[in-house]
Amino acid sequence: MTLFNNKNLSPSQSDLVLLWILRGFALLTGIIVVLITAFLLLEALPVLQQVGWLRFVSDPSWHPVQGFYNLMPMLWGSLLVTLGAVILAAPLGIGSAIFCQYYAPPFFSGFYRQLINLLAGIPSVVYGFWGLVVLVPLIGKLQPPGTSLLAGIAILTLMILPTIALTAEASFSEVPTEYFQGAAALGISRWATIRSVVLPATKSGLFTGLILGTGRAIGETMAVLMVCGNVVQTPTSIFDPIRTLTANIALEMAYATGNHRSALFVSGLLLMVAIAILVAVAEGMSRRNIYG
């Protein structure tokens, strides 16, 4: 399909120039990831050399100015808030897609799809603001102070639901029509068809959606920063305020210097590693889908 690869015809001079310019552009865009990783490493290196990896988990607390660098509470915060959001958003997102594809009357299905698209486009700072002025006071009535792990989970659920719903719907629409005809011929009900034909057939697509949602939840900063309370502590209940790795960076970058600043780049590096793992898992899943 790409005629431009025809090696039998010698290209004109201007075509060669164009090709090299385009290669330059592609190289530049391809190298940004390398540049980001390199700069994170470069900035993280001083604290890694002077303090070492181990102290990030074994220090008594996070008081970087005094030289204590325990990142564990923030790691727990990030992990719990992400986990909670994915557990809630998975059934809601997949349920939304099932609704759109198989249950909704035609006029409502189009409307609902548009709504999910709009939900995906709302900026995280707006979600955060709404959470702060509406949701947090509501949770506060239940159990003060309101800014909490629960508030973070609720907001993140709303934010990753569209990602999961849209990928799920895309994979549902790829299920061959023969499957439904076969199921209908066997007299299987709508729900039984979905449960025993559609869901198994789209397993890897649904999983990819979950991975994408997880990635978005781990990396989310503003909304979580605004509703979670930002107290450095390992939470014992869902009403405890928490601070995530991302919020920690956003809060302390403004005044951090020396090893403190370095330590923040270490948490950036951790986030980068988490994303790389998620991308690798997603890619492995889609490959198995093709060849397995």
Partner 1 sequence: MGEKSKNQISLPTFIVWAIALSVTAVFCWILGDILWHGVGQLSWEFLTTEPRNAGREGGIAPILISTCLILAVCLAVSLPLSVGTAVLLAEFTTTESRFGRLVRRSLDVLAGVPSIVFGLFGNAFFSIKLGLGFSILSGGLTLACMVLPILIRSAEEGFRAVPTEYRLGAAALGLSRTTTLWKLLLPAATPGLVVGLVLGIGRAIAETAALIFTSGYVDRMPESLLDSGRSLSIHIFDLSMNVAGGDANAYASALVLLILLLLVNGMATWIAQFWLARRIKS
11: preceding bond cis by omega (within 30 degrees): no
* Near partner 1 by CB under 8 A: residue from 153, 226, 232, 285: 226
* Near partner 1 by CB under 8 A: residue from 65, 87, 133, 138: 133
Of residues 31 and 58, the one with the C-beta less far from partner 1: 31
Q: Which stretches within 99-227 are classed as H helix? A: 106-121, 124-130, 136-142, 149-172, 177-185, 190-193, 199-201, 203-219, 222-227
Q: How far is the CB of 60 from partner 1 (least distance, A)?
A: 26
Of residues 39 and 179, the one with the C-beta less far from partner 1: 39
- Count residues near partner 1 (CB under 8 A): 86
Of residues 80 and 270, the one with the C-beta less far from partner 1: 270
Q: Which of residues 7-66 bind partner 1 (CB under 8 A)?
A: 11-12, 14-15, 18-19, 21-36, 39-40, 42-43
Query: Max Cα separation, the chain?
Result: 75
Cα 182 from Cα 180, distance rounded (Å): 5
Of residues 5 and 236, the one with the C-beta less far from partner 1: 5
Binding mask 157-186 for partner 1 (x = CB under 8 A): -x--x-------------------------
For residue 240, the SS3 value is coil
Contact between residue 171 and residue 205 where contact means Cβ atoms under 8 Å apart: yes
Beta bridge partners of 68: 63
Q: How far is the CB of 164 from partner 1 (least distance, A)?
A: 12
Contact between residue 69 and residue 51 where contact means Cβ atoms under 8 Å apart: yes
* Near partner 1 by CB under 8 A: residue from 54, 254, 291, 292: 254
Contact between residue 105 and residue 271 where contact means Cβ atoms under 8 Å apart: no
**Should residue 253 be labelled a site residue for partner 1 when binding is judged by CB under 8 A?**
yes
Of residues 267, 277, 276, the one with CA closest to residue 74: 267
Cα 103 from Cα 116, distance rounded (Å): 16
Of residues 197 and 275, the one with the C-beta less far from partner 1: 275
Q: Which of residues 70-129 bind partner 1 (CB under 8 A)?
A: 91-92, 95-96, 98-100, 103-104, 112, 115-116, 118-119, 121-129
Q: How far is the CB of 91 from partner 1 (least distance, A)?
A: 8
**Should residue 221 be labelled a site residue for partner 1 when binding is judged by CB under 8 A?**
yes
